Amino acid sequence: MSRVAHAGVGGWGKNVVRVAGELSELAWVVDTDAARQAEYAARYPNATITASFESALADDTVEAVTIATPVPSHYTLAKQALEAGKHVFVEKPPAMRGEEMEELVALARASNLVLMPGHLLLYHPGLRKVKELVDSGELGDIACVYGNRQNLGVIRSNENALWSLGVHDLSVILWLLGEEPSEVVAYGQDFVQPGIEDVVFCFLRFPSGKVAHMHLSWLDPHKMRKMTVVGREKMVVFDDMELERKVTVYEKGPWEPTEGEWRTRTGDIFSPKIATDEPLKLELQHFLKLVADGPGDHREATDGLAVVRTLDRLTTSLDTGASA
């Protein structure tokens, strides 16, 4: 069982440390908040609780580090951990600039270390089913993918809706289509805090001709967590707000019964059974398997690089109003 040091137990971090504690030997818990230190000292009496990330990295018995701190600190902490010879799981996004992510990937490759971004949705059983449908060809040629990620809150001050919400759907879109976009455009507006866009609309065009769209907002009356994939033969919707019907497949598409005359075809609608495994547990199990077996082709790191690189381009478009 791998010995792990975890950094950050606020917000999402409390979930990461919980699962890491179940799956590994949790040796260190790092957080700068005194109240949290006291809480986790009682919860994990065999772990060392500290505010010093450097102390955890200095422990030669620690093989891996999980990082779930505020986003602006991800790059610095991940770099420190890789330079200390530790395998790294870091919540999304691992960096806020493409150049920084390229540096992290290069460090991981040079030392043959695991660098795994926390793209949770790639381990959701429902989206795994969607990926299976796409890869099998059952949907036919894919035309477009679009995501809706909206809610009223949480309104953040250290990142905009693109970086807070868009990283989720973007990681899924690139994973489903298996390519990086050739053109991206993003438009947004800062209604609550100057310089921090609360609402962002993104358009992506891919070399294959496929297109994708993301609607991202924390100023919306509806909580939506939905991904739609439109194929020539069938269409599929993943809706994470549904309790039971997470995935719905529609036998709908265009049809040309005679040359030059197009009609729409409507068939059955069905929802396959989806496993209820916790995505975070599946994700960290995969990370710890990589720690045990080795990073292989560093696919997780390079996929993470594609996401950050695309976010970087979308940010340029958001700032300039031009495509990137």
Residue with tokens 């909580």: 223
CB neighbours (10 Å) of residue 243? 6
Measured between alpha carbons, how far is 247 from 149 in angstroms, rounded to an integer?
Answer: 16
> Rounded to 5 degrees, what are φ and ψ at 226?
-130, 145
CB neighbours (10 Å) of residue 9? 24
> Rounded to 5 degrees, what are φ and ψ at 261?
-120, 115
Q: Are 13 and 73 in contact (CB under 8 A)?
A: no
State the maximum Cα–Cα separation within the chain, in Å, rounded to a whole number: 73
Q: Considering the entire predicted model, what is its pTM?
A: 0.95
Residue numbers in the chain where pLDDT is lower than 50: none
Question: Which tens digit of pLDDT belongs to each residue from 59-93?
Answer: 999 999 999 999 999 999 999 999 999 999 999 99
Give the per-residue SS3 of 193-239: ECCECCEEEEEEECCCCCEEEEEEECEEEEEEEEEEEEECCCEEEEE
* CB neighbour burial string for 221-237, b if at least 16 within 10 angstroms, e if fewer: eeeebbbbbbbeebbbb
Give Cβ neighbours of residue 103 (< 8 Å, ≥ 6 apart): 79, 95
Q: Are 66 and 57 in contact (CB under 8 A)?
A: no
Q: Give the model's pLDDT for residue 293.
A: 97
- In DSSP notation, 89-147 reads EEESPS-SSHHHHHHHHHHHHHHT--EEEE-GGGG-HHHHHHHHHHHHTTT-SEEEEEE
Here the tokens at position 72 are: 């602006």
Here the tokens at position 81 are: 């951990």
Cis peptide leading into residue 154 (ω within 30°): yes
Cα 222 off chain centre by: 22
* CB neighbour burial string for 141-173, b if at least 16 within 10 angstroms, e if fewer: ebbbbbbbbbeeeeebeebbbbbbbbbbbbbbb
The angle that helices 98-111 and 74-83 make with each other, rounded to 10 degrees, is 20
CB neighbours (10 Å) of residue 262? 9
DSSP-assigned beta bridge partners for residue 252: 266
Measured between alpha carbons, how far is 93 from 8 in angstroms, rounded to an integer?
Answer: 15
Measured between alpha carbons, how far is 178 from 184 in angstroms, rounded to an integer?
Answer: 16
Q: Give the model's pLDDT for residue 97.
A: 93
Measured between alpha carbons, how far is 287 from 2 in angstroms, rounded to an integer?
Answer: 11
Q: Are 164 and 184 in contact (CB under 8 A)?
A: no
